[in-house]
Amino acid sequence: MAHFIGIDVGTGSARAGLFDSAGLLLASASRPIQIWRPRPLHAEQSSRDIWQAICAAVGTVLADAGVAPDTVVGIGFDATCSLVVLDGDGRPVAVNAAGEDDRNIILWMDQRATAEAEEINRSGARVLDYVGGRISPEMETPKILWLARHLPDSIERAAQLMDLADFLTWKATGSLVRSTCTVTCKWTYLAHENAWDESYFDMIGLGNLKADGFARIGSQIADPGTSLASGLTEQAAADLGLVAGTPVAAGIIDAHAGAIGTLGAAGLPGALEQRLAYVFGTSACTLNVTREPVLVPGIWGPYYAALLPGLWLNEGGQSAAGAAIDHLVQLHPYAPEGLRQAQSAGMGLTHWLDLRAQALLADGSPTDLIAGLHVVPEFLGNRAPLADPQARAVIAGLSLEADEASLVRLYLAGLASIGYGLRQILDALRAKTIDISTVVVSGGAARSRLVRRMLADAAGVAIATVQTEEPVLLGSAMLAAVASGQASSLEAVMADMSQVEDVITPDAASRAIHARRHQSFLKLQAAYRDMRDH
């Protein structure tokens, strides 16, 4: 039997999943990866640490599933859109003032390049049309510009500047081919023109990247799922415990892998263009496709062929989603006691809160419990649709209550606020005639039915899930199936390896209340924007 391995590198862990040709998960494993925070707004990782974590995870899934390495016929990688810096020998180059080369990755959520992003946004460059009008400091060219200004020795040594997913496929195969997904979504590559915009790099002061056909950032581009080079090198195969020559797919960004694993599931209502993938983890990412390009202010894209060949991708999201809920509840005075009880029960605080909320809701509705309590959870800015990295969180309606019930109320209000942020993105899409009828959720935070119910009611949209427990890993395994030749195309394999599990429609009785609360959300958001400079 043929097997596929999907490998996902998220913010805090590297994971591997082993799947069969029907999309059934046979085994999965996770290993933690390190994050360094040497200064405020800085977040760094190590490519060596990440590769070691991947190898350990792959070895575990092979052992747990009890399958022979030669039955693995394809490997797919996804990763956060983090910047990896290597020298001419493929060795790591420091992205920190301490000169520690092992820390050679600027993590996606790093905000050090905020000033550079603002400067680029004032340039009027035409590539900005394809990132919702404003580039984010989470993207790669502002980060490279920051490196050029603050760590010139590092940028001088840098022979390769790579998205993390592309680093992983290079590490596995030796191929420097970049993915259409990574360079189009995070590097300003214009896939619909099959070209980089040379004038943009001249305009922002990175004209030296044009050398040798942009060799340092990608002179060869391939669609996700394309089989790279001759597959696994001897060294990579030895590291992973697999067979040399095993096909390796051109990679994809982690949230986009979640979209591949969910959007095309058999049994979902509506056409592909009426669905939106919502990957709900530390951050939240929204992805939808259209047949023709649609420019939506504040929404990244449209990106040609960044998700599926021949289709245009729009991408939004919230820079802090699961992380925002975690931070929000930890601010409450009852949080230490809640955490103590959660740990005694062998679970995390938010899982414990989810169970306590379900108990409270047996005697009332969510809107009754959260009445008068409002949250704007923008602890790390607003990614979409405002493209405002300076936005910050607002909490209105707190009292002196310090008991369990008030902590649960805050948790539920936070969940509703995530839904209002999603609603704001859906409204921006609708304003440009993109009418989404079904949101397909994935990610750890969306495993709770209560969370999905809150999202459906607050956002006013049907929330669906698919059967797999690991849609992101499945998306990468689907890439592997295409690279191996076992599947004819991504669109075909999406329906073959994924099926709908559950659809929650909005509660009609609370529709009007959530509509009013959403208006309050927008007012609070605007109020902070008006007052934050004084």
pLDDT (tens, 9 = 90+) of the chain, 534 residues, equals 899 999 999 999 999 999 999 999 999 999 999 999 999 999 999 999 999 999 999 999 999 999 999 999 999 999 999 999 999 999 999 999 999 999 999 999 999 999 999 999 999 999 999 988 889 999 999 999 999 999 999 999 999 999 999 999 999 999 999 999 999 999 999 999 999 999 999 999 999 999 999 999 999 999 999 999 999 999 999 999 999 999 999 999 999 999 999 999 999 999 999 999 999 988 899 999 999 999 999 999 999 999 999 999 999 999 889 999 999 999 999 999 999 999 999 999 999 999 999 999 987 899 999 999 999 999 999 989 998 989 999 999 999 999 999 999 999 999 999 999 999 999 999 999 999 999 999 988 888 999 999 999 999 999 999 999 999 999 999 999 999 999 999 999 999 999 999 999 999 999 999 999 999 999 999 999 999 988
With beta carbons less than 8 A apart as the criterion, state whether 79 and 9 touch. yes
Question: How many Cβ atoms from other residues are within 10 Å of residue 501's Cβ?
Answer: 13
Q: Please give the backbone phi and psi of residue 219, each rounded to the nearest 5 degrees, phi first.
A: -95, -15
- Decide which of 1.20.1260.10, 3.40.50.1820, 3.30.420.40, 3.40.50.2300 is the CATH code for 254-319+438-507: 3.30.420.40
SS3 assignment for 397-461: CCCCCCCHHHHHHHHHHHHHHHHHHHHHHHHHHHCCCCCCCEEEEECHHHCCHHHHHHHHHHHCC
- Locate the domains of the chain by residue range: 3-252, 254-319+438-507, 322-426+509-531
Structural fold of domain 322-426+509-531 = Methane Monooxygenase Hydroxylase; Chain G, domain 1 (1.20.58)
Chain-centre distance for alpha carbon 234: 31
Is-same-fold flag (254-319+438-507; 322-426+509-531)?
no
Domain 3-252: assigned CATH number: 3.30.420.40
Contacts (Cβ under 8 Å, ≥6 apart) of 9:
15, 33, 50, 54, 77, 78, 79, 80, 164, 165, 168, 254
Question: What residues contact 219, with CB distance under 8 A and at least 6 apart?
Answer: 176, 212, 213
Round the CA-based radius of gyration of the chain to a whole number and report it: 22
Q: Which two tokens stand for residue 264?
A: 């095309």
Q: Do the Cβ atoms of 459 and 276 come closer than 8 Å?
A: no
